[in-house]
Amino acid sequence: MPYYSGRDGSLLVGTTTIGRVQNWSINATVDVLETTDLGDNARTYTPGIKSATGSATFFYHTDTPSTLLAPVIQTGAVVDSDNVSLDLRWGTGNNLRRIQATVLINSAEISVQTGEVMSATINFTMTGDYSALTLT
């Protein structure tokens, strides 16, 4: 049984691999809708609408696509240049896993410390449903 590590991960924007990614994460949720009737003795629920948010940190260098950072930092606008397709991948060959979705980038941060490589972090929110989802 294979296991996965950060060495197996990658981040693509559209079809372009963002090199030098430090980390990425995604948090998927489903709203819970109450369906309790008057007179019931216990609450009941049903699944509602799903959503996902996430973040990614990557080393900031001359190859970093400016479309990921500039709109948020320069104008305070959400990045949705025709929306951004993020493809989070891990594994290889027959064990390739992925989560692909159209997202809005709603925050961006650039940071640097003495003795460290400059990095950038984006936070995103999925809009619509997953474009591709392979977890098993």
pLDDT of residue 99: 94
Please determine, for residue 28, whether its predicted confidence score (pLDDT) is greater than 70: yes
Average pLDDT over residues 112-121: 87
Mean of pLDDT over the chain: 84
Q: How would you list the strands of the sheet with 119-134, edge to edge? A: 16-17, 10-13, 79-90, 97-111, 119-134, 45-59, 21-34
Q: Buried (b) or exposed (e) across 58-77, using 16+ Cβ within 10 A? A: bbbeeebeeebbebbbeeee
Residue among 50, 75, 61, 81 nearest 20 (CA): 61
What pTM does this model have?
0.81
41, 53, 60, 115, 124 from 109: Cα distances, Å = 49, 16, 10, 19, 12
Percentage of residues of the chain with pLDDT beyond 90:
36
